[in-house]
């Protein structure tokens, strides 16, 4: 049991610095899915928290993210020309 607890605590601590797609502390990060026209950021509380991830995605195509709406815990953005 002690080993399980140690492994669990280590994974929690390491998950905080594992990826910049983790905007909240915890085991589960954000999922960024889209193409050159839109992007969806899942597992977010509001559109402002997801905006940096959406902007980073759209910047790959020389575009900026423009918020359209929330669907539950997903923020949806259009990628628009700058």
Residues near 73 by Cβ (< 8 Å), separated by ≥ 6? 42, 43, 44, 45
Which of residues 12 and 17 earns the better pLDDT score? Answer: 12
Q: Counting beta carbons within 10 angstroms of the beta carbon of residue 55, is it exposed (0 to 12), middle (13 to 18) or buried (19 or more)?
A: middle
Which of the four pLDDT bands, split at 50, 70 and 90, describes residue 18? very low
Q: Is the pLDDT of residue 19 over 60?
A: no
Q: What is the reported pTM?
A: 0.73
What is residue 1's predicted lDDT score, i.e. its pLDDT? Answer: 72
Average pLDDT over residues 23-34: 91
What is residue 5's predicted lDDT score, i.e. its pLDDT? Answer: 57
Average pLDDT over residues 24-44: 94
Spatial distance between the Cα atoms of 80 and 35, rounded to a whole number of angstroms: 12
């Amino acid at each position: 049991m002690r080993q399980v607890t140690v492994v669990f605590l280590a994974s929690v601590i390491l998950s905080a610095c594992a990826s910049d797609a983790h905007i909240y502390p915890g085991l589960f990060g954000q999922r960024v899915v889209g193409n050159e026209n839109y992007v969806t950021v899942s597992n977010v509380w509001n559109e402002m928290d997801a905006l940096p991830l959406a902007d980073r995605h759209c910047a790959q195509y020389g575009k900026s993210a423009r918020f359209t709406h929330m669907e539950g815990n997903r923020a949806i953005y259009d990628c628009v020309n700058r």
